[in-house]
Amino acid sequence: MLLKFTKMHGLGNDFVVVDAVSRKVFFNKQQIEKLSDRNWGIGFDQLLVVEPPTNPDMDFRYRIYNSDGSEVEHCGNGARCFAKFVLDRELTNKRIINVETKRGAIQLRVLDGGLVTVDMGEPSFDPNDLPFTAEPSDALYSIMAGDVEYFMTPVSVGNPHAVIKVDQLTDDEVATVETLIECHERFPRKVNVGFMQVISPDEIKLRVYERGVGETQACGTGACAAVVAGIKQGWLSPKVTAHLRGGDLHIEWQGEGSPILMTGPAEKVFEGQIYL
């Protein structure tokens, strides 16, 4: 089967996006792993499959698959690229787009100049929502990865995140975190791990080791998780600029009961086709 696709990225977190509205398309795990391979396939962090909605109140459904083939609940950078994709392909002419995801309904607002604001929904700090095996607490959670003790804030943004505050971002943390996310018994569905350096109450630096992928140039849900964890711990103000390796995201959260708003760019790199 000849598959047409669009290669896109949000701050270097890269995607293959497929229109499954015009024609149904299904992928199995092996196909996704092959397509994601940067030597044997196209190469991407996530595959985004755009489908018609199942709920008539929604404009679309979009499904998100990590490069290892696992289907996930939410993808912040992917949501912005999705919005650009459906407008470029004239699948809609709306600038406020309501989308079904595995995490639930989200709303995208396409701004003049190409930026997109995503209502990412409300976060949860209940470990059961990740899941993470621990008693709910306001404290930082201690967790051992190998012989290293990390103090982290577990946050669900629809997908699971562990936010670790560090004084200085280096290469060391990310390299050693694999044991924390790939096989830690306290994260039965694994976890995305963010290392956050607080520069000021409205500015952080962040590196994210993503579940099912590895370290990415940027992680939208990771930036949201880091900012809301920092606000909850009293380190950050309601509006924060997150500096990721691939660029900046603007995150806003007014506290419990309110949604997280994330604003950032979305880029198209090329269109292609491949035989599946």
Active-site amino acid positions: 75, 219
The distance of closest approach from Cβ of residue 167 to ligand API in the complex, given in angstroms and rounded to an integer, is 25
Number of neighbours of residue 59 by Cβ within 10 angstroms: 18
Name 190's Cβ contacts closer than 8 Å, sequence gap at least 6.
Answer: 160, 181, 182, 211, 212
Long-range contacts of 143-149, Cβ-Cβ distance < 8 Å, separation of 24 or more: 143/180, 143/184, 143/186, 145/176, 145/177, 145/179, 145/180, 145/184, 146/176, 146/179, 148/176
**Tell me, what DSSP letter sits at residue 274?**
E
Q: Which stretch binds ligand API (CB under 6 A): 26-34, 68-76, 100-108, 146-154?
A: 68-76
Position 123 contacts ligand API (CB under 6 A):
no
For ligand API (CB under 6 A), the number of binding residues is 19
Instruction: Give dist(CA 192, CA 76) in Å, integer.
Output: 13
Q: Which stretch binds ligand API (CB under 6 A): 75-83, 175-183, 231-239, 268-276?
A: 75-83
Q: Which stretch binds ligand API (CB under 6 A): 27-35, 54-62, 124-132, 204-212?
A: 204-212
Instruction: Give dist(CA 242, CA 258) in Å, integer.
Output: 19
The distance of closest approach from Cβ of residue 171 to ligand API in the complex, given in angstroms and rounded to an integer, is 20
Instruction: Give dist(CA 45, CA 180) in Å, integer.
Output: 20
The distance of closest approach from Cβ of residue 224 to ligand API in the complex, given in angstroms and rounded to an integer, is 8
**Tell me, what DSSP letter sits at residue 56?**
T
The distance of closest approach from Cβ of residue 68 to ligand API in the complex, given in angstroms and rounded to an integer, is 9
| The binder of ligand API chosen from 46, 153, 156, 217 (CB under 6 A) | 46
Position 212 contacts ligand API (CB under 6 A):
yes
Segment holding 232, helix H or strand E: helix 220-232
Name 166's Cβ contacts closer than 8 Å, sequence gap at least 6.
Answer: 173, 195, 196, 197
77 is in an annotated binding site: yes
Position 219 contacts ligand API (CB under 6 A):
yes
| The binder of ligand API chosen from 220, 230, 264, 265 (CB under 6 A) | 220
Nearest alpha carbon to residue 50 among 106, 5, 115: 5
* CA torsion, ordered 39, 13, 110, 106, to nearest 10 deg: 100
The distance of closest approach from Cβ of residue 2 to ligand API in the complex, given in angstroms and rounded to an integer, is 27
192 vs 232, which CB is nearer to ligand API? 192
Q: Both tokens of residue 242?
A: 């997150």
Q: Which stretch binds ligand API (CB under 6 A): 36-44, 69-77, 101-109, 139-147?
A: 69-77
Annotated binding site: 13, 46, 66, 76-77, 159, 192, 210-211, 220-221
* Contact residues for ligand API, defined by CB under 6 A: 13, 45-46, 66, 72, 75-78, 159, 192, 210-213, 216, 219-221
Annotated binding site for substrate: 13, 46, 66, 76-77, 159, 192, 210-211, 220-221
